[in-house]
Amino acid sequence: MRYLTFALAKGRLAEKTMELFESVGFSCNEMKEKTRKLIFTNEDLKLKFFLAKASDVPTYVEYGAADIGVVGKDTLLEEKRNLYEVLNLGFGKCRMTVAGPKEMKYKLNSGQDLRVATKYPNIARDYFYHKKQQTVEIIKLNGSVELAPIVGLAEVIVDIVETGSTLKENGLVVLEEICPISARMVVNRVSMKMEYDRITDLIEKVKKVL
Ligand code: PRP
């Protein structure tokens, strides 16, 4: 039997995922030890798990380096990789939004020039260019995006909001909702055929406990 390989977005999402997998018997004791290791195995069940940066998870799965991935819908929408999205796992819930100072609510729909700062340029482009049919300038940032409207880099941001406290503590508000976000299970297209039984068994077991 070959290994079934999982790519998990490191951090809280991976922890929640392993709790869920453990509850359906796909456990990995090696992962519970405090270590700098990146890859863990369950020799009995022939499972391999590795932790990757969230934005790289869809890449590992598309190329078949991992058969299965667990990552946020935000990353899937941004990376636009060719893979199967098979399950909404329900945790890691947040919202993709347009946010900024509340005065920008008017400017957002006034047709005036607008700069949008974001870690998600593809999502921002899809939303403004295709959904709203509005031309805006998109500025790519890599983090702490809430800074941009405060220091005058952009009028608004496109970003995820979970508790809302980052916006609130920086005097910003949600101006428009783009879409809800949560963790998803994704599968490589070839793996889905080659390992159909093992993968559908996992999907069915997870569905039952969700
Ligand atoms: C995310 C997101 C917001 C914040 C939202 O950033 O980009 O900044 O969390 O969470 P809240 O609504 O609960 O305050 P992250 O913590 O990933 O850091 P980053 O901005 O450096 O990417």
Q: Are strands 68-72 and 4-9 parallel, antiparallel or unpaired?
A: parallel
**Interval between CA 148 and ligand 1 midpoint (Å):** 13
**Interval between CA 167 and ligand 1 midpoint (Å):** 9
Domain 94-181 class, CATH top level: alpha beta
DSSP per residue, 177-206: EEEEE-EEEEE-HHHHHHTHHHHHHHHHHH
Q: Does 74 contact ligand 1 (Cβ within 6 A)?
A: no
Superfamily of domain 4-92+182-209: Periplasmic binding protein-like II (3.40.190.10)
Separation of alpha carbons 152 and 148, rounded Å: 6
* Per-residue three-class SS string for 102-131: CCHHHHHCCCCCCEEEECCHHHHHHHHHHH
pLDDT in tens, 40-87: 999 999 999 999 999 999 999 999 999 999 999 999 999 999 999 999
Q: Does 164 contact ligand 1 (Cβ within 6 A)?
A: yes
Give the position, in ligand 1's atom list, of the atom nearest the Cα of 169: 14
**Interval between CA 26 and ligand 1 midpoint (Å):** 30
Residue linked to tokens 């969230």: 54
Q: Does 163 contact ligand 1 (Cβ within 6 A)?
A: yes
Give yes or no for residue 176 having a pLDDT over 90. yes
Q: Does 170 contact ligand 1 (Cβ within 6 A)?
A: no
Q: Does 161 contact ligand 1 (Cβ within 6 A)?
A: yes
Give the start-to-end residue ranges of the domains of the chain.
4-92+182-209, 94-181
Q: Does 142 contact ligand 1 (Cβ within 6 A)?
A: no
pTM, entire model: 0.95
The neighbour count for residue 165, using CB atoms within 10 Å, is 9
CB burial readout 99-114, b (16+ within 10 A) else e: bbbeebeebbeeeeeb
- Residue of minimum CA distance from atom 2 in ligand 1: 160
The neighbour count for residue 177, using CB atoms within 10 Å, is 11
Confidence of residue 201 (pLDDT cuts 50, 70, 90): very high
DSSP per residue, 132-156: S----EEEE-SS-TTHHHHHTS-SE
**Interval between CA 96 and ligand 1 midpoint (Å):** 11
The neighbour count for residue 137, using CB atoms within 10 Å, is 12
Query: For the chain, what's the residue count?
Result: 210
Best residue among 13, 142, 146, 160 to mutate for probing ligand 1's pocket (most ligand atoms within 8 Å of CB) is 160
Joined tokens for residue 177: 């909702």
Residue linked to tokens 């101006």: 175
Give yes or no for residue 191 having a pLDDT over 90. yes
Angle formed at CA 77 by CA 57 and CA 92, multiple of 5 degrees: 70
pLDDT in tens, 129-172: 999 999 999 999 999 999 999 999 999 999 999 999 999 999 99
Establish whether domains 4-92+182-209 and 94-181 are of one fold.
yes
